[in-house]
């Protein structure tokens, strides 16, 4: 899991969680993979095509909610639609990732 922050001029990515199956700590053999993923995340954020994520949430009653995300006063990325909090959702973005 990553946290995105924005100070008004620069957006930066911080890896905040990286656990394995059943929330077990990952061994040293994962360092290369995690470093590569950090690089990919940072590269996406720095890309001129970067757009904040959008979300589509289908509620249990069948209602589908859509939300953009925006930077709050603390520089954290938050959902524009206030009634989207948790549950199952799909995140989509317009950036193609080439691995």
Mark out the alpha helices in 16-94 (DSSP H runs). 31-46
Percentage above 90 pLDDT, the chain: 31
Give 16-55 pLDDT, tens digit per residue. 888 888 989 999 999 999 999 999 999 999 898 989 989 8
Report the number of distinct structural domains present in the chain: 1
Q: Is residue 97 part of a domain?
A: no
Q: Is residue 56 part of a domain?
A: yes
Q: CB-based contacts of 85: which residues, under 8 Å, 6+ apart?
A: none
State the residue range of the domain holding 60.
2-92
pLDDT at residue number 31? 94
Burial class of residue 69 (count of CB atoms within 10 Å of its CB; 0-12, 13-18, 19+): buried
Sheet with 64-67, edge to edge strand ranges: 64-67, 54-58, 89-92
Tell me which of 1 and 98 has the higher pLDDT.
1
Q: Is residue 98 part of a domain?
A: no
pTM: 0.64
């Amino acid at each position: 899991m990553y946290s995105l922050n924005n100070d008004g001029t620069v957006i930066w990515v911080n890896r905040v969680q990286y656990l394995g199956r059943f929330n077990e700590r990952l061994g040293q053999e994962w360092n290369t993979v995690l470093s590569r993923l950090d690089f990919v995340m940072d590269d996406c954020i720095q890309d001129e095509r970067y757009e904040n994520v959008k979300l589509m949430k289908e509620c249990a009653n069948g209602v589908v909610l859509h939300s953009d995300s925006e930077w709050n006063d603390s520089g954290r990325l938050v959902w524009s639609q206030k009634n989207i909090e948790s549950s199952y959702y799909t995140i989509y973005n317009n950036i193609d990732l080439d691995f």
